[in-house]
Amino acid sequence: MTDSLFFFLASLTLLCALMVVISKNPVYSVIFLILTFFTISAHYILLNAQFLAAVNIIVYAGAIMVLFLFVLMFINSGKNAQGKTKGVLSKVAGAIAGGLLFLVLIAALKDVQLEAVNPDTYDSQVGMVKNLGQVLFTKYMLPFQLVAVLFLVAMVGAVMIGKREAGEQNF
């Protein structure tokens, strides 16, 4: 059952990712990218990493894709991209870049050896939130707190830049 679900999700992920690249309308491309993120989150759930699935949906499918849609609406690229056709040189360059990426992928995967899972040492709770929180707040406590302070400084800086009055000099 899990194998058939994996292959269905894998084929759906590849189809959506392909449609991201093929779509002529940027809004459709963003929608297919959101579907790709959802199917990747389903893969995380199959791997028993529920926290990563939730973070993937919240951060990528939620925040990042909304940002992409706002940028697309602001630049109005749908109107500009309709009348232009790609040149032969850009198509050849894209095909060469894709082929080189494929060769790098094949070279990276040729020496991979998959090991069988040992049921005696397998831990099914490895991707759970409880275990992740325990590692974050024990082994990685200082980096976690430093990142929290960095995010706080970034939020304060964004508010200061956004609330700048007309004619006001902050620096």
The rounded distance, in Å, linking the Cα atoms of 162 and 54 is 30
Boundary-marking domain end, from 57, 85, 113: 85
| pTM attached to this predicted model | 0.58
Better-predicted residue by pLDDT, 27 or 138: 138
Per-residue pLDDT at 16 exceeds 90: yes
pLDDT at 5: 92
Q: What is the pLDDT of residues 137-166, one digit of tens each?
A: 899 999 989 988 998 998 888 778 777 666
Question: Which position has the token pair 């749908």?
Answer: 78
Q: Is there a contact between 53 and 42 (Cβ–Cβ < 8 Å)?
A: yes
pLDDT tier at 91, thresholds 50, 70, 90: confident
Residue 150 lies in a domain: yes
Q: Which domain holds residue 74?
A: 1-85
pLDDT at 71: 75
CB crowding 29-54: b at 16 or more within 10 Å, else e: bbbbbbbbbbbbbbbbeeeebeebbe
* Number of folded domains that form the chain: 2
Residue 98 lies in a domain: no
- Say yes or no: 6 and 80 in one domain: yes
pLDDT at 94: 86
Kindly state the greatest CA–CA separation across the chain. 69
Residue % of the chain over a pLDDT of 90? 29
